[in-house]
C-alpha cells in the first residue's frame, strides 16, 4: 500500500491472510481454507501470483528514486541533472614504426603488448626516407586494462620483414569500463548542484559531468590577499582527477563567475562567444599512494583465490586499478579509515581474523581536500594462514 510513510509491499503471507479473512466473511467462520482444501488451494495460488504483482509494483515505485533505482531506470533519472552514465571506452594512443624506407603499413595492422593487450592502427602509414613513422592506434577491446604504459607495445602480431621494431613513446589512455550503478549513483549525487553556475558546488558538479573525470574538488580564496597555498585573493582553484584538459578548461570557463580568477598550474586557452580569448587555469588532483599489508587467519570457507579477493576488496574501497578494471573508490579529500578497510577485508568469506597495517601503521590516513587516495597492486601484501 502507499501512504504518507511511503510504499509497503504486501507479501504472500499478508495476501493469503486477507483472502482467508474475506472467505470467512463471505462463507462463514467455519469455511475450510486449509492448505489441502479446494478453496485453500485456490486462495494460495492467487496469493502466490499476486505477490509477484506486488513485487513488480514495488520495483516500479523504487525505480523513481536515485538511491534505489538500478540499471536503465537509473539511466533515465540522470538527465534531470544533466548527466548520463559513462559507457565503456576504448584506449587510444600512438605507435612508432621503424623499418624499410617508404614501406606502406596498412590500416588495421595489429600491434600489442607481450601480455596480450592488442591494438589496431587507425590509418595507412607510409614510412619516411629514414624508415620511420608513427600512426594512431585504438584498443581492440574496451576497458582500463588497455591503458598501458609507454614502451610496452612492442609486439607485431603478424611479423613483417619490412618492419624492424615498434614502440609507443607515450602511454595509451582513455580506456574505461561501463560505469557501474554504484559509481553512477555516487556521481549523480555529487552532480546535483551542477545545474547552476558561479558557485563552488556548480563548478564541481559541472566537472564531474565530464567524460573521464573521476573526482573533482574546488577550493576558493574569499579573502583579498593571497592565501597560504598561493591562491590570489578572490580566486578559486579546481583540482581534477582524470579528463581531457581542454574539456576541463571549457567547463570551468562556462560555469565560473565573471571577473573571478581561476588559479592553477595548468593553463588552457578558451574562446568566448564574442571571439575573445581567455586563459583558464586549474590543477590536477594529487594522488596519495597508499600501501596495505594484511595478514589473514582463514577458515575452511576461505576460497582458493581468497588472497586475490582480499586485494580486490582493498582496491575497491581505496580506489585504483585491479585486474584490468578501474575503481573510483574514495572521493577527493576522503580519509582512508582503518576500520572501514578492515570491514572491506571481512567481505571475503572465510576470514576469521585480520592483522592489517596501513602505510605501516594502524591509524587513519588523512587526505587534504586537493588530494585523493589511490592504491596499486604492488603496494598490497596479503598473506593467509589457518
CATH classification code of 90-167? 2.40.30
For 341, the enclosing helix (H) or strand (E) is: helix 338-345
Task: Assign 284 to helix, strand or coil.
Answer: strand
Question: Contact, 41 vs 20, CB < 8 A?
Answer: no
Task: Assign 215 to helix, strand or coil.
Answer: strand
Which pLDDT belongs to residue 213?
87
Cell of 226: 593571497
How many residues belong to the chain?
A: 386
Which pLDDT belongs to residue 28?
94
Going by the DSSP 8-state scheme, the letter that residue 2 receives in this structure is E
Pairing of strands 277-284, 235-242: parallel
Which pLDDT belongs to residue 196?
67
CATH classification code of 196-284? 3.30.300
Cell of 379: 603496494
CA atoms within 13 A on the CB side of 119: 35
Which pLDDT belongs to residue 214?
83
Question: Contact, 244 vs 233, CB < 8 A?
Answer: no
**Helical pair 181-191 and 200-208, crossing angle rounded to 10 deg:** 150
In whole angstroms, what is the distance from residue 176 CA to residue 111 CA?
20
In which residue ranges of the chain is pLDDT below 70? Answer: 193-196, 324
> Among candidates 133, 148, 146, which has minimal Cα distance to 95?
133
Do domains 90-167 and 196-284 share one topology? The answer is: no
Each domain of the chain, given as residue ranges in start order, spans: 2-64, 90-167, 196-284, 288-384
Amino acid at each position: 500500500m502507499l501512504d504518507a510513510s511511503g510504499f509497503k509491499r504486501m507479501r504472500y503471507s499478508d495476501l493469503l491472510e486477507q483472502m482467508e479473512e474475506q472467505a470467512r466473511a463471505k462463507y462463514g467462520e467455519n469455511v475450510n481454507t486449509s492448505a489441502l482444501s479446494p478453496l485453500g488451494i485456490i486462495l494460495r495460488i492467487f496469493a502466490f501470483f499476486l505477490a509477484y504483482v506486488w513485487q513488480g509494483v514495488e520495483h516500479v515505485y523504487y525505480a523513481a528514486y536515485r538511491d534505489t533505482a538500478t540499471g536503465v531506470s537509473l539511466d533515465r533519472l540522470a538527465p534531470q541533472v544533466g548527466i548520463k552514465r559513462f559507457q565503456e571506452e576504448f584506449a587510444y594512443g600512438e605507435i612508432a614504426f621503424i623499418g624499410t624506407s617508404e614501406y606502406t603499413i596498412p590500416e588495421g595492422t595489429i600491434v600489442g603488448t607481450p601480455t596480450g593487450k592488442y591494438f589496431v592502427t587507425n590509418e595507412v602509414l607510409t614510412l619516411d626516407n629514414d624508415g620511420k613513422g608513427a600512426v594512431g592506434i585504438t584498443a581492440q577491446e574496451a576497458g582500463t586494462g588497455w591503458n598501458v604504459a609507454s614502451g610496452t607495445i612492442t609486439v607485431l602480431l603478424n611479423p613483417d620483414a619490412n618492419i624492424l621494431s615498434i614502440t609507443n613513446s607515450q602511454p595509451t589512455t582513455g580506456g574505461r569500463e561501463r560505469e557501474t550503478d554504484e559509481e553512477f549513483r555516487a556521481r549523480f549525487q555529487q552532480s546535483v548542484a551542477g545545474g547552476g553556475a558561479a558557485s563552488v558546488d556548480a563548478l564541481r558538479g559541472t566537472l564531474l559531468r565530464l567524460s573521464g573525470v573521476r573526482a573533482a574538488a574546488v577550493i576558493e580564496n574569499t579573502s583579498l590577499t593571497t592565501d597560504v597555498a598561493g591562491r590570489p585573493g578572490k580566486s578559486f582553484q579546481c583540482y581534477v582527477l582524470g579528463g581531457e584538459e581542454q574539456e576541463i578548461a571549457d567547463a570551468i570557463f562556462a560555469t565560473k563567475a565573471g571577473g573571478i580568477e581561476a588559479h592553477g598550474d595548468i593553463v588552457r586557452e578558451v574562446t568566448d562567444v564574442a571571439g575573445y580569448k581567455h586563459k583558464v587555469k586549474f590543477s590536477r588532483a594529487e594522488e596519495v599512494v597508499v600501501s596495505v599489508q594484511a595478514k589473514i587467519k582463514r577458515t575452511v570457507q576461505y576460497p582458493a583465490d581468497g588472497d586475490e579477493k582480499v586485494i580486490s576488496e582493498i582496491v575497491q574501497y581505496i580506489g585504483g586499478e585491479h585486474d584490468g578494471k578501474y575503481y573510483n573508490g574514495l572521493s577527493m579529500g576522503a580519509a582512508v579509515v582503518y576500520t572501514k578497510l578492515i570491514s572491506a577485508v571481512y567481505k571475503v568469506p572465510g576470514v576469521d581474523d585480520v592483522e592489517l597495517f596501513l602505510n605501516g601503521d594502524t591509524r587513519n590516513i588523512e587526505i587534504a581536500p586537493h588530494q585523493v587516495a589511490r592504491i596499486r597492486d604492488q603496494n598490497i601484501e596479503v598473506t593467509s594462514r589457518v
